[in-house]
Each structure stands twice: as C-alpha cells, then as structure tokens.
Structure 1
Amino acid sequence: MTHVSGAWPTRLPLAERRCFPRFNIALVGLCSINQGPDAHCASVDLSIAGIAVRTRAAVSIGDAVIASFREFGMAKGRVVRRFEGGFAFALNTVDPYRSRLSQYLGWRVRCLDRPSPETCLDERVVPLNRLLVLTRADGRAHIGRVESVSRSGIVFTSTTRFSLGEAVRVGRYALAADSFSVMISFAAAD
C-alpha cells in the first residue's frame, strides 16, 4: 500500500500489484546462467511466479536461469531484474517444477511458519524415541529423525530423497511421500 501524507492508505495501481504473495525464505542452492558453470546462490524471497537470489554470478536481463534447491528441486526461468549482489528471475509458466515450489510454499505456510500451536490443524507431538525407519515399496530401509507427529502426518529429516507420491511404510502405516522427504502425510491409517 502507498501512503500519502494526511490521507488514508490507497491501493497500489494494478500494474504495480503482485499476482502472488512473496515469502522471505532463505534457502541455499546452485544456479546456472545460460547453461554455464554452477554458482552458489541463496534465495532472498520466493513466490510461484519468481525467485530472487543472491549470488556472485554475472547476469543480464533475459538470461536463462536454472536453479536447484534441495527443498523443492529445480526452478527454470529468465532474469527479469538485477540488484546489487543478485537478481530475480521469473519462472517458466509451464514448468513442472513450478508445482513443486507451490507445494513447498504451501507446506511451509501450513507447518513451519505457524506462530503458535493453536493455529495448527492437528496437534503435533514430539516423540521420545525420535529414530525413524522408513521402508520403500522395494524393501529398502532408510533411517531418519522424527521432528513431530500428528494425525495428519509425520515431519522428519533424512538424508534420503523420496519422490512425490512414492509409497513408503512407517511401522504399520502405509504412507505417500509429500513435500520432498520433509513431510509425509498419512494416506491410510489402520
């Protein structure tokens, strides 16, 4: 909103409004400009329309960007704005990675950015035994650390990556991987 001295706040003109909310989330990753060598980068803010990153890589407006972040995977687009120490790029509109970013941001808003336990959809409990063994459909077992458990899912950390929708088993529960090995939602409960 813009403020005019002595007046009520007014709405921004349509051309200056953002279509999607931006989230100030710092993630570390790699980016490649015009299929050049990878350079380290860190996100400044994210939205499903674009990402602003800090990096030492030299860019020009319109350069092709491929960025990779552990939390949600790759993002492809073109540089639309430069600023001191980095740049912003718009994501390709038909890019399948855009939906992964959207799911990550949704998960982040639902689970991590809640100010208090009262705003959670389900009560979250931190178990005493935080060691977790996940078994994939092919029988391979992986170890993780439980962060919290609720009726709707398990939040855990692991060095293993799971594909979206991949079937996994935790104890007697069959689950479907959601949000890239960070959160697993209960698909069926016995």
Structure 2
Amino acid sequence: MIPEQKPEQKKRLYERRRFQRVNINLLGRFMLENKREYPCQVINMSPGDAAIIAPVGGKLNEKVIAYVDHIGRIEGKIARQFDGGFAVLLNATSHKREKLAAQLTWLANRDILNLPEDRRHDRQEPKISSSRMTLSDGRQYTCRVIDVSLSGAAVSMAVKPAIGTPITLGKMRARIVRHLPDGVAVEFSSIQPMEVIESHLS
C-alpha cells in the first residue's frame, strides 16, 4: 500500500507540477539565517521554486532571502542541495506568484529575442558614448559605451572587473556579465526606457 502523502508533500508536488521552470542567468545576493550575505546566480526558476548557484550552501529547510536582478526580493526554504548550490521552495502569495510568472515570461522572451542574429535589432549606439564606471569600493574608470540595449551595454575600457562584480555605469546600477576583447558587457539591474538609460549613462 502506498503511504498517504502529508499535506506539505502534496503542496510541494502540486507546486512542481503547476509551474514551469525557465532557464535564466540572473545575478543577485542572498542571506541565510545567520544574516550574512553572499553573491549568487539563479540558473532556473518558476513562480514556485528556484535553483541557485552559490559559494556557500545552507541546510535543508533553512530560510533564504534573496534579491535577484530583474526579479527583486524572493524568499523561501532550501528544499534540495546539489553540487555548487541549492534549490529553494518559494514562499509567496498568489499575487506575487502571478507577478513572478509575468517576469519570467518576459525574461524568457527576451532571451529568445536576443539570439545573436537578432541582437543587432535590440542594441543601438548611444548618442553620447563617453561614461564612467564606478566599482563598489569607489574606484572609477573612464570608459566608452559601444552599444546599449534595454537590458545592458557593451563597454570599452582598459580594465576588466571580475564577472559578477556590481558596478555603476554613469548612474545605472549593473553587474559585469561577460569579458570582451576590449572591455566588458554589463547587465542593468532594472529595465528602463531607452531615453532614461541614455540620460543616465552619460
């Protein structure tokens, strides 16, 4: 005889079946119950759970609060551990889940539109290319914005901060996501209208 599932087990199974995971690549920071913060990367997510790569792993059922670029604040408990990270079962209201579903749909569609052959339609040369990059420790570097889109920019500069480094490009908060032959690619922490982005970059 198959044992009767507990209500919590039924809920988790229902959540896994209800929500479809989206493969994403979003940077952020998370906090465990010890109140210490660590950088992280969300590699896939649904309105019900998220898989997170992190330098520090927590314990099963430990509470996690994370701030993820383009998503915002999420929280939940560690439901599963894997090599290099863990999966979090999210604790969210129905309204929050609907919002997450809309955000994930937008991110999935953005990734489809940003295939290499289509990227030239999404990116454009800024009207003013000169800018300044500021690191979290206050160091500043003069740079040139090669091209820009709603989600990020390619920047020509003499130094190459490590991938994942939080920076400010002009007045836009961003993170380094890729190294280029003559600079870096950055992803903005929020989506803004193009005219706002250009005014904040210069």
What TM-score, normalized to structure 2? 0.51
- Distance in 2, matches of 1:16 and 1:50, equals 8
Query: Which residue of structure 2 lines up, in the alignment, with residue 36 of structure 1?
Result: 35
Query: Which residue of structure 1 lines up, in the alignment, with residue 110 of structure 2?
Result: 111
Q: Deviation string for 1:153-177 (max 9, x for gaps)?
A: xx3657547xxxxxxxxxxxxxxxx
- 92 and 110 in structure 1: CA distance in 2 versus 1, 3 angstrom threshold: same
Aligned residues: 137
- 87 and 37 in structure 1: CA distance in 2 versus 1, 3 angstrom threshold: same
User: Residue 42 of structure 2 contacts residue 51 of structure 2 at CA under 8 Å; is this kept in 1?
Assistant: yes
Higher RCO, 1 or 2 (CA under 8 Å, sep at least 6)?
Answer: 2
Query: Which residue of structure 2 lines up, in the alignment, with residue 65 of structure 1?
Result: 64
User: Residue 15 of structure 2 contacts residue 48 of structure 2 at CA under 8 Å; is this kept in 1?
Assistant: no
Looking at secondary structure, tell me which structure has more helix per residue. Answer: 2
Identity of paired residues, percent? 26
- 84 and 129 in structure 1: CA distance in 2 versus 1, 3 angstrom threshold: closer
User: Residue 125 of structure 2 contacts residue 148 of structure 2 at CA under 8 Å; is this kept in 1?
Assistant: no
Query: Which residue of structure 1 lines up, in the alignment, with residue 92 of structure 2?
Result: 93
- 113 and 36 in structure 1: CA distance in 2 versus 1, 3 angstrom threshold: same
Q: Which runs of 5+ in 2 are unaligned?
A: 1-12, 129-144, 153-168, 174-188, 195-202
- Distance in 2, matches of 1:101 and 1:71, equals 10
Q: Which runs of 5+ in 1 are unaligned?
A: 1-13, 132-143, 149-154, 162-179, 186-190
User: Residue 27 of structure 2 contacts residue 42 of structure 2 at CA under 8 Å; is this kept in 1?
Assistant: yes
Give 2:26's aligned amino acid: L
Give the root-mean-square deviation of aligned CA atoms: 4.0
- Distance in 2, matches of 1:23 and 1:32, equals 23
- Distance in 1, matches of 2:28 and 2:115, equals 29
- Distance in 1, matches of 2:102 and 2:14, equals 27
Give 1:182's aligned amino acid: I
Query: Which residue of structure 1 lines up, in the alignment, with residue 166 of structure 2?
Result: none
Query: Which residue of structure 2 lines up, in the alignment, with residue 182 of structure 1?
Result: 191
- 95 and 62 in structure 1: CA distance in 2 versus 1, 3 angstrom threshold: farther
What TM-score, normalized to structure 1? 0.54
